[in-house]
Amino acid sequence: MYNIFMENKTQVIVVGGGPAGISAAVTVARTGKEVILIERGNFCGSKNVFGGAVYTKPIKEIFPNFEENAPLERNNTKHKYMLLTENEDTTISHSSVDENSNSYTVIRAKFDRWLSEQAKKEGVTIVTQTLVKDLIIKNNRIIGIKTELEDYYADIVILADGVNSLLAKKAGLRNDFKPSDVALGVKEVFKIDSEKINERFNLKENEGCITEIIGYPMNGMLGLGYIYTNKNSVTIGLGVALDELTEKQLKPYELLDKLKLHPSVAPLIKDGELLEYSAHLIPEGGYNKIPQLYGNGVMVVGDAAMLVNNLHWEGTNLAMISGKFAGETAVEAIKMNDFSKNTLKLYKQKLDKSFIIKDLKSYRNLMPTMHKRRNSFTDYYIKKISSFFEMFTSVDGIVKRDKFRNFIKSIFTDRNISELFKDGFAGIKLLWEILK
């Protein structure tokens, strides 16, 4: 048998054992080609942080029967959008009647480990506790990687090393990101009995609820909060653009503390025992900041390629599908025995045709626009929606017509008319770009 380690040469090396890397590696292994996945953590998933929910359909494209054995927490049948002011909330809630699951909450340390075990069964050689420090470049082509101990060579290297991909930079495929291109996410996990979770979130056994939080305590900043229900724990967290945190000298865990104390949030995690605190960067640059995705002998996938749709908290699905495309492209290149960018451009062609680039392209002006209009969309209108419902639901003997008129008048008195126009124009433009 071909001994990879004696010869230190294989067909494909994948760097990073997150969803992107594992999907790329298993796609290659299924065709009988040699693939080594190198992960710096003790096991795949040990370093991975997210909200979070994973999405059923994209996972099934790679692991069709995952629902039978994967360590899943709850099937998310409820999705809430909570608009918060300091003391109030206005919540829109959607409950699904579809029997097929759309998403599951998972604990990444368990889920990614499970994915990697499946990949191993299908022929991927997984090397853990190994940091890839550099790339080996010869004649303008990536031909291998350097770890602390050894050099390994491959026909193709797939970079799946996450948001802060130093290797993609070394490959000359991307520049340093700007603080406005990433958000800092912080989260805590609280242990709470499953019966209490069901009661507090109005769930049946194994049903889960995703709560997205807009407004307080991130008012006026580009940020979102979230609450996810696991089997016996609840995850609460938020992500805020890094440039905002730096400019305003805010500490994200102080914002998280404020969120936990909100009167509509505190009862949901009451008496929970803190199990875990973690922080991680989230790519936010979107379509405009996608780096060069391939070069001679190399492709970049997942977070390393900025493939995240942040408005929808979609990252793992883009990571897995981009990994699958890179894996398929690697197999094609091996068949053609051509590892130049001329062949590897197939990876980008596959991405361009998929929902990944189409969605990111539609949303390409979302972040720049939200950046400019953040005081309006994450503060002013949230408070206004809250005061509308306060007015609409109060029974106080005041003539309704007068209340409605006063409410409309207040928009024009507390808001400069040109700002209102700019908000309206920005909103319509965004909608047009998404729909066209």
Q: Which two tokens mark 43?
A: 């096991």
Query: Binding to ligand FAD (CB under 6 A): which residues in 124-143?
Result: 131-132
**Smallest gap, in angstroms, from Cβ of residue 322 to ligand FAD?**
8
Cα→Cα distances 256→57, 186, 265, Å: 31, 8, 11
Contact 210, 228 (CB under 8 A): yes
Buried b (16+ CB within 10 A) or exposed e, 302-335: bbbbbbbbbeebbbbbbbbbbbbbbbbbbbebbe
Q: Check residue 58 for interaction with ligand FAD (CB under 6 A).
A: no
Task: Give the one residue of 59, 109, 142, 160 binding ligand FAD; rule: CB under 6 A.
Answer: 160
The C-alpha atoms of residue 339 and residue 75 are separated, in whole angstroms, by 42
Contact 106, 72 (CB under 8 A): yes
Task: Give the one residue of 162, 286, 291, 295 binding ligand FAD; rule: CB under 6 A.
Answer: 162
Task: Give the binding range for ligand FAD (CB under 6 A) out of 16-24, 82-90, 172-180, 194-202.
Answer: 16-24
Q: Check residue 272 for interaction with ligand FAD (CB under 6 A).
A: no
C-alpha 228: how far from chain center = 14
Please, which residue, 227 or 426, has the CB nearer to ligand FAD?
227
**Smallest gap, in angstroms, from Cβ of residue 240 to ligand FAD?**
11
HEC-encoded secondary structure of 349-393:
HHHHHCHHHHHHHHCCCHHHHHHHCHHHHHHHHHHHHHHHHHHHH
**Smallest gap, in angstroms, from Cβ of residue 360 to ligand FAD?**
13
Task: Give the one residue of 144, 225, 239, 291 binding ligand FAD; rule: CB under 6 A.
Answer: 239
Q: Check residue 280 for interaction with ligand FAD (CB under 6 A).
A: yes
Maximum CA pair distance of the chain? Answer: 87
Q: Check residue 41 for interaction with ligand FAD (CB under 6 A).
A: yes
Contact 128, 17 (CB under 8 A): yes
Please, which residue, 73 or 207, has the CB nearer to ligand FAD?
73
Q: Which two tokens mark 265?
A: 């949030």
**Smallest gap, in angstroms, from Cβ of residue 427 to ligand FAD?**
26
Please, which residue, 192 or 238, has the CB nearer to ligand FAD?
238
Contact 377, 423 (CB under 8 A): yes
Q: Check residue 314 for interaction with ligand FAD (CB under 6 A).
A: yes
Q: Check residue 327 for interaction with ligand FAD (CB under 6 A).
A: no
Amino acid at 244: E
Q: Check residue 48 for interaction with ligand FAD (CB under 6 A).
A: yes
Q: Check residue 38 for interaction with ligand FAD (CB under 6 A).
A: yes
Please, which residue, 130 or 386, has the CB nearer to ligand FAD?
130
Among 159, 160, 158, 164, which Cα is nearest to 177's?
164
Among 238, 184, 181, 182, which Cα is nearest to 215's?
238
Task: Give the binding range for ligand FAD (CB under 6 A) out of 11-19, 67-75, 250-258, 387-395.
Answer: 11-19
Q: Check residue 302 for interaction with ligand FAD (CB under 6 A).
A: yes
Task: Give the one residue of 33, 79, 174, 187 binding ligand FAD; rule: CB under 6 A.
Answer: 187
Task: Give the one residue of 12, 13, 19, 79 binding ligand FAD; rule: CB under 6 A.
Answer: 19
Q: Parallel, antiparallel, or unpaired for β 35-38 and 125-127?
A: parallel
Q: Check residue 309 for interaction with ligand FAD (CB under 6 A).
A: no
Q: Check residue 51 for interaction with ligand FAD (CB under 6 A).
A: yes
- Site for ligand FAD, rule CB under 6 A: 15-21, 38-41, 47-54, 131-132, 160-162, 185, 187, 237, 239, 280, 282, 302-304, 308, 313-317, 319
